[in-house]
Amino acid sequence: MSEEPSTTGVLGSVRQLEQALESTATIRAASETRLREARSEASRRVAAAQDEAAATAAERRRAMLAAAEADAAEISRAGAERATRIRADAQDRCAAVVEAALALILPADGKNEA
């Protein structure tokens, strides 16, 4: 009978070890599941941040393009105004030169000397 308590003790120890291993395996599986979920959540957050960064960059580009278009329109308008003033000045000067040339060619009294 001395062997039975020893066998029972060994079997009990083996069962305890099996339970500990099973518990460890369960804990590990749960930890791996939580780790996968955390990685998945992190991936979703990274993707969302990348999408937000891309949208922000696109909005900045749109704003910069709008500002550049406004600047270009203002530069074009100012150039057109300057061109109009220069054209009018050139026409006035051309008319003055033509009149001066005609004054040199034509007699002062307006009669033709033919």
Query: Does residue 77 fall inside a structural domain?
Result: yes
What is the overall mean pLDDT for the chain? Answer: 91
Residue 32 in any domain: the answer is yes
Q: What is the percentage of the chain residues whose pLDDT exceeds 90?
A: 80
Q: Say how many domains are in the chain.
A: 1
Which residues form the domain of 69? 11-114
Cα angle 25, 36, 49; round to 5? 160
Does residue 5 fall inside a structural domain? no
Q: Between these two residues, 65 and 9, which has the higher pLDDT value?
A: 65
Residue 1 lies in a domain: no
Whether residue 57 is contained in a domain is answered as yes
Q: How many Cα atoms within 13 Å fall on the side-chain side of residue 89?
A: 6
**Residue 2 counted as domain residue:** no
Give the pair of three-digit tokens for residue 92: 């006035």
